[in-house]
Amino acid sequence: MLLTADVGNTNIKFGIYDGDELKFKLRVSTDTAKTSDEFAVELYTFFQIYNISADSIDSSIISSVVPKITSPLSNAIETVSGVKSLVIGPGVKSGLNIKIDNPEKLGADIVAGCVGAYEKYGGPFIMIFMGTATVIVYVDENKTYLGGAIAPGVGISLDALTSKGALLPSIDFKAPEKVISTNTSDCMRSGVMFGTACMLDGMIDRFYEQVGKKCKVIATGGFSQLMAENCTHNIIADENVILDGLKYIYKKNNR
């Protein structure tokens, strides 16, 4: 089985594939202070909970945007399973033709997500990554990555609002019943939720205008489903697309 790991600034997402089927998933918080031994304990516990034999893991691949974690995590995977991980980076074949100023600067999670989206849905498409940052990118019908835009993530926006506004309360994140709300908490939810949805709808329209045509829109990340439900455009929410992309990239490099 293949162990995939997507290391983000906020969370690390693990997936275990048996062939093409995603059998198990795990999400843990990103903590740069953790040692390889601590990661190994978390992985071992994960295997124990789901009754997974470490010996059944015969391959592993990592995408990481947190360099400080990459090596400890890779060491932990090897400790638990005996497998060396393929780490997305220069020299790893993705099949994605990256046409930006500095291709080597493109985040491994963006590469994996775009590969997964192309393999699952075909191109062209707009891809929205809703993590610590909200990243919106475009891939054409020839699997060419042409660039995109970066905005503050939903969580960052909400944290900034509550930390800088002395009288504004901390709130849970959900859509209020109406845009024009009548209490502070719902007013904040309306601004962040519907404001982000309007931003995404507006950016999608501007992408359409620049490329001269409409296309599929795919979103992934913690808030992707909620945002897809509140945008006017038809958006496919796919929480597994990065892990799926890692699976495809591993196959491409180990044929």
Q: Is residue 253 part of a domain?
A: no
Domain containing 46 equals 2-87
- Is residue 224 domain-shared with residue 182, that is, in the same domain? yes
What is the mean predicted confidence (pLDDT) over 209-220? Answer: 97
- Is residue 189 domain-shared with residue 208, that is, in the same domain? yes
Hey, what long-range contacts does 47-50 have (CB within 8 A, 24 or more apart)?
A: 47/80, 50/24
Token pair, residue 215, equals: 């296309």
- Is residue 119 domain-shared with residue 230, that is, in the same domain? yes
Tally of structural domains, the chain:
2
Handedness of CA 85, 86, 90, 96 (dihedral sign): negative
Q: Which residues contact 137 (CB under 8 A, 6 or more apart)?
A: 110, 114, 126, 127, 129, 145, 146, 147, 148, 149
Catalytic option among 109, 186, 238, 244 = 109
Residue 164 pLDDT greater than 80, yes or no: no
Q: Is residue 250 part of a domain?
A: no
Q: Is residue 26 part of a domain?
A: yes
Dump pLDDT digits (tens) for 127-148. Answer: 999 988 999 999 999 999 999 9
Q: Is residue 102 part of a domain?
A: yes
Task: Decide if 109 is catalytic.
Answer: yes
Q: Is residue 68 part of a domain?
A: yes
Dump pLDDT digits (tens) for 50-84. Answer: 899 999 999 999 999 999 999 999 999 999 999 99
Q: What is the per-residue pLDDT for 67? A: 94
Q: Is residue 92 part of a domain?
A: no
- The CATH number that applies at residue 198 is 3.30.420.40
- Is residue 39 domain-shared with residue 148, that is, in the same domain? no
Q: Is residue 172 part of a domain?
A: yes
The last residue of a domain, from among 29, 64, 87? 87
- Is residue 114 domain-shared with residue 227, that is, in the same domain? yes
The last residue of a domain, from among 41, 61, 87? 87
